[in-house]
Amino acid sequence: MSTLQFTIEGLKATIEGKEILKGINLDIKGGEIHAIMGPNGTGKSTLASTLMGHPKYEVQDGSVTLNGEDVLDMAVDERARAGLFLAMQYPSEITGVTNSDFLRSAINARREEGSEISLIKFIRQMESKMKELEMNPEFSHRYLNEGFSGGEKKRNEILQMMLLDPKLVILDEIDSGLDIDALRIVAAGVNAMRDENRSFLIITHYQRLLDYITPDHVHVMMQGRIVKSGGPELAKRLEAEGYDWVKEELGIVDETVGESV
């Protein structure tokens, strides 16, 4: 029996005075993969950033809990320690910090003082995961994301996920910028991490990724809300027919969000 439970209730958030999230509800159990699909500008990345605690996004209402613990009350580093992980749509480049230094610090930040991972053990783990992701070993010595191609950045995000062993993984458009081979490798990495004590929230514009990672639940986001939910067949229909039928069905003219309030 899984013990993991991630719950979002009535989550509303604003950025620079604009209301973007207008009441999100999600119930994610251990081992489940939920996909959030939707056109651009509908609030998907805002949801990811709000869950991680990005300071630009202000929560106005609602609750987010991980195993009953109030996530919104936690600082970003506490969220990471609690097991939340976000692979970003646009990972930052950080000059002067090597990838391996960054990864080791991230691992140690989640551990108690005095129980830091040994350098040998860390290198062994990093090298084995990099091999799984078919990453060139030189990437461990490069500055974090600096000069990485879009696809290399995405693989590096997945490398972080594998090493950090999170409970709730949020992947924001991890498929963008990936060619089909890289997509397969990334999907294999995610599938290898599937576990009844880990859950995934996979944000994607296209259903292509979901050919390789089968979700349990699929949600469509428009106007800062989840407007439709279903199983994997919903993603297939969106792939075949696009988003227009959802808009028609629900009487939505403009699916984007972000008008001033």
Ligand X SMILES: Nc1ncnc2c1ncn2[C@@H]1O[C@H](COP(=O)(O)OP(=O)(O)O)[C@@H](O)[C@H]1O
| Positive or negative torsion for Cα 222, 249, 7, 164 | negative
Subset of residues 21 to 50 that bind ligand X, contact rule: CB under 6 A: 38, 40-46
How near is the Cβ of 47 to ligand X at its closest, in Å?
Answer: 7
Give 174-211 as a 3 state SS string: CCCCCCHHHHHHHHHHHHHHCCCCCEEEEEECCCHHHH
**Only segment of 63-71, 84-92, 134-142, 219-227 that touches Mg ion (CB under 5 A):** 84-92
Handedness of CA 97, 170, 214, 246 (dihedral sign): negative
Selection from Mg ion, ligand X, none that 43 binds (CB < 5 to 8 A by kind) is ligand X
Matching residue, tokens 């600082």:
75
* CA atoms of 181 and 79, how far apart (whole Å): 32
Which of 25, 18, 16 lies closest to 56, judged by CA?
16
Q: Does 156 bind ligand X (CB under 6 A)?
A: no
Distance CA 12, CA 49 (A): 13
Q: Is 124 in the site for ligand X (CB under 6 A)?
A: no
d(CA 154, CA 176): 8
39 or 62, CB closer to Mg ion? 39
Which span (86-94, 104-112, 142-150, 189-197) binds Mg ion, by CB under 5 A? 86-94
Closest C-alpha to 71, from 44, 51, 87: 51
**Site membership for Mg ion, residue 45 (CB under 5 A):** yes
CB of 37 to ligand X, least distance (A): 10
Residue nearest to ligand X as judged by C-beta position = 258
Closer residue to ligand X (CB): 42 or 145: 42
| Residue 186 binding result from Mg ion, ligand X, none, given CB thresholds of 5 to 8 Å by partner type | none
Q: How many angstroms from the chain centroid is the CA of residue 117?
A: 25
Decide which of Mg ion, ligand X, none touches 42; Cβ closer than 5 to 8 Å per partner kind: ligand X
83 binds, among ligand X, Mg ion, none (CB under 5 to 8 A by kind): none
Contacts with Mg ion by CB under 5 A lie at: 44-45, 89
Contacts with ligand X by CB under 6 A lie at: 15-16, 20, 38, 40-46, 56, 257-258
